[in-house]
Amino acid sequence: MDEVKAGEICALVGLEGFEIGDTVADVEKPEALKSIAIDEPTMSMLFTINNSPFYAKEGKYVTSRHIKDRLEKELEKNLALKLGQTGSADSFMVFGRGVLHLSVLIETMRREGYELQIGQPQVIFREIDGVKCEPIEELTIDLPETDAGKAIETVSMRKGEMLNMEPKADRMILKFLIPSRGIMGLRNYLLNVTAGEAVVTHRFKEYQPYKGEIPGRINGSLIVMEQGEAITYSLHNLQDRGKFFINPGEPVYEGQVIGEHSRGGDLVINVTKTKKLTNMRASGSDEKMKIAPPLKHTLEEALEYIQADEYVEVTPKSIRLRKIYLNENDRKRDRNRGASNA
């Protein structure tokens, strides 16, 4: 409304426990309006308190009560968001409409001063008429014609089904039906392949029968052995082990993921080891060492990158990757438990 005149109702105060689409009506003659249909969430993420060694160093709101109150406040205006319980007072299951939808909420929270940890995004499966079904999205990719082949191959590997292929000048517009699982990490890959020229959009279509396994990340993680500061000497000597996510001089802690292993399987490394100095080995020669620039993840990239046994630690100043179990012995026990249950 541009204006509200005297005597007109402009707001209702004191109503609690209402849902989107509810009708406020006369008690004696209640007539409900048709409820608004809102798309159901297709993805879930675990939100938990930050319990890393760097807890509360950068954030203002760090307790589970702070996180719970903020999520409940978000529910009042974010229609597609839902909140579930996990059986633990320190963690919450948040349901949304994809990685981007939830990463916008996480980014807003970190800018407001919150510290939290996020688990790997999980697609919400449903059983329809006794058949396991998953969310399918309509994917549109607008990219240079020369890169169309790579995009088609990649989407096909992720169980995508091509609907249309339309040339437009020197570009190609591709349309697919693809499981929501297949979209995770796809945008970043296409942007790298096309030097940032790809435009990727997708929207929820429907639930369809489960499409089968989709190949995930093959390479393991490089994990810190002990807390300290990353030393140039150590990073230089370990460069052949994989790509790093940190700069020399950054503080690190045991169990933090600081790089991608060049092979499958995780590798625990010591990046806090300094050079043993003698008359023949001076500290000044470190200046000659050349270290490749680190690969820095955005929040959305980090969420798509992590494995099931990893968290993204989010603070107002930093985005770090870490293992759920920081200690190597705890991780081995967890793996053994998983193997025996299987």
Burial of 314 (0-12, 13-18, 19+ CB in 10 A): buried
Let me know whether 114 and 180 are in one domain. no
Query: Do 174 and 246 fall into the same domain?
Result: no
Give me the long-range contacts of 268-271 (CB less than 8 A, separation at least 24).
Answer: 268/223, 268/224, 268/225, 268/328, 269/222, 269/223, 269/224, 269/225, 269/234, 269/238, 269/241, 270/224, 270/225, 270/226, 270/234, 271/224, 271/225, 271/230, 271/231, 271/234, 271/235, 271/238, 271/246
Q: For residue range 54-83, what is the model confidence (pLDDT) as tens digits?
A: 998 988 999 999 999 999 999 888 888 899
Residue finishing a domain among 123, 138, 157? 123
In this prediction, residue 257 carries a pLDDT of 94
Q: What Å distances lie between residue 305 and 174, 188, 217, 240, CA to CA?
A: 25, 10, 8, 21
Residue 321 lies in a domain: no
Same domain, 228 and 196: no
SS3 assignment for 108-169: HHHHCCECEEECCCEECCEEECCEEEEEEEEEEEEEEHHHHHHHHHHHHHCCCEEEEEEEEC
The answer to whether residues 103 and 172 belong to one domain is no
One domain for residues 132 and 204? yes
Looking at the structure, tell me whether residues 76 and 143 fall in a common domain.
no
| Chain centroid to CA 241 | 25
CATH number for the domain that contains residue 111:
3.30.70.870
**Structural domain includes residue 7:** no
User: Does any domain span residue 185?
Assistant: yes
Distant-in-sequence, close-in-space partners of 271: CB < 8 Å, separation ≥ 6: 224, 225, 230, 231, 234, 235, 238, 246, 252, 258
- Exposure pattern of 271-292 as b/e (b: 16+ CB <10 Å)? bbeebeeeeeeeeeeeeeeeee
Which pLDDT value is given to residue 322? 94
In a domain, 311, yes or no: no
Q: Do 177 and 111 reside in the same domain of the chain? A: no
The dihedral of CA 65, 71, 76, 81: what is its sign?
A: negative
Query: Are 202 and 238 in the same domain?
Result: no
Q: Does the residue 29 lie in any domain?
A: no
- Is 258 within the bounds of a domain? yes
Domain stops at, among 209, 244, 271: 209
Same structural domain, 112 and 141: no
Q: Decide if 255 contacts 326 (C-beta within 8 A).
A: yes
Residues 257 and 280 in one domain: yes
Total of domains in the chain: 3
Residue 186 confidence (pLDDT): 85
pLDDT-based confidence at residue 88 (cuts at 50, 70, 90): confident
d(CA 90, CA 65): 8
Phi and psi at residue 46, to the nearest 5°: -90, 120
Do 248 and 196 sit in the same domain of this protein?
no
pLDDT confidence tier of residue 264, bands split at 50, 70 and 90: confident
The answer as to whether 320 is a domain residue is no
Residue-range definition of the domain harbouring residue 281: 221-296
- Read off the tokens for 231: 């030393």
CATH of the domain at 172: 3.30.70.240
Select from 123, 139, 169 the last residue of a domain. Answer: 123
Beta-carbon contacts of residue 84 (< 8 Å; ≥ 6 apart): 44, 92, 93, 94, 95
Kindly indicate the confidence band of residue 281, based on its pLDDT and cuts at 50, 70 and 90. low
Pair 227, 270 in one domain: yes
Taking only the tens place, the pLDDT of each residue in 157-208 is 999 999 999 998 889 999 999 998 888 888 878 888 888 889 998 888 889 9
Yes or no: say if 110 and 154 are a contact pair by the CB < 8 Å rule: no
What six digits make up the tokens of 37?
């249909």
In a domain, 188, yes or no: yes
Q: What is the pLDDT of residue 176?
A: 94
